[in-house]
Structure 1
């Protein structure tokens, strides 16, 4: 538990009931000549929620449907789900602005940030939300590793945002060319997802490249699986503005759809999770900005957990992704603000020479705060205020 502003929420969904376990830490006075150093105290409470697996899944599916339709009726559902799942722990969660959530079952599909304690006030407006697949995974991902030194790329306020963590800051892929062979293979699936070309995804990838010195973007025919495997070990941040499918039923076959190289018949254009596990990554963050959850009869959350664990095994502790695809300029704006916020915090932390804080700024809670700030900017826009545009994005991995 990093500090007294953080709360750990773990859910367990059973057939008849749902359980919420909340762990918080008390604030500790700073030691002084008159005040001795004190060890922090912890509070762990369990809350019983009177809803079982099937009914909860139905409520969450309905909530998602209303958001997907941009239906204003979602607000009532947002308040009802908040009151049912989070209100029982309201007293313990008061003042806790950073939440580490370990969902279970269909709760993985719930966009917590879109819940409302009061009308027109979203949870994300007051809380930075990070997720983990389990406490074991969280403990492993929180083990520190040495952060890469950081530097500014230019002088002057006009270029203040052009910052980088290393000579190879960010690698971005966007709008791959999905050939007939890949399309036919994916169309044989029950739920292939949206495979239409996306010029906006191409704009997104190119815009991110311009944001950082030492970055590269590959779009269209260049956004190939072969190149992704060859280049991904050289960069600190990797961004895929390409169709990705998270599969609860077969998590190791969740995939990112990329261009199939004409020169390499060994690559089929689908970068699957089992292949990701074999990569040697140096990245601290990987983002899937155009990912979608495959439809499933049951919602185990294994699609989220599988991708997160595969990236961790390959060397990357933190994943940012979307639950549904938003092919609109809002996604490009959200991602640009996300990375600006993320790297600004990393530079400030590194400048303070506190490596622990620098590490936090570029992973876990630091990434959740960066995403929260980007979402708050969209909430200030009447055009993109509806949760359809932002609620599907979440950060999974190292809690900071």
Structure 2
């Protein structure tokens, strides 16, 4: 196999055979390709696309580049959820313990921030001691005893995706349907899932800003996953504003704990979390209808069982045993907090969600290069939702920054990212469809 020949053929729009794709991905996993070659391949795929057969071959090659987990000793349905990425999207943090409290086993392999979107692993690393790459025995034990474990890719699970994922982040090749499909599903196939529910974001804060493209991606994911033997469906959800009322890392862990404590009811975030919980429970055969699934999820929250599952998962993976009870004892706060004030009176009519995600990176809460260190303290909180009536000078958000200069810059940027109108806006439903 000559890597540059495969790159050239894809650059020229030729269809690659399964054997060629498997050879290229095998070389990638073995460390035999340079970052330039990986980036060139990703860019060729971005421009020329892939057929369905090529996407299936790429997905299977990446899944087979490492170990595949088996869960024969767990008598619960093995299920998971994955998001295509958004801003203020911390659904997984609450959904995994809710689903586990309802009887599912959730071995969730998550990723770091990609482009302007936040990463579940980066958020979890805000928790002191939390191990995002446990060995296989600990991972299995946490899933079996706690009901869920949210971890990162180890070197043994889809290692080819781990390297390709990092290169895509810094080469402007994130928003490629074949690469997104193979990246998401290779990890899920390697995790030994029986059912999977996908969150395909659409809007100015998503990789797919266009509804048609989002539906194309959703169909690609669902068809490839079902073809690989995993029962899969996808919800298309709105990402024209941050999903939670915060964006960052430690601030989103605080949001998770508040959600599990019942302090985020009536929000867009709650709507999405409960919808995914219901879909997971129906797909796995635990609930017979979405209404029953949502009722079970609400009960898991109100009873405190979901919070108990989260606490046990954190403790078993090395985090503090009393994080749920004493979050401020462990979650670091940024030294500077500055309110962002409305420039005029009116309605919060629209926002640039992608711009908000980029502003988190500018604060130090994300990466420009794969080796960058993240400041987990920084970000935004108390973001008011679109459709809120505000008066001039009223806070619409709170900046968390490392110093005064960064706080001033972020506050000015965030103010620009929101448009205040004279008329109440017509809001987009947070759940746009099911595939």
TM-score using structure 2 length: 0.23
Q: Which has the higher helix share?
A: 2
Q: Which has the higher strand share?
A: 1
TM-score using structure 1 length: 0.24
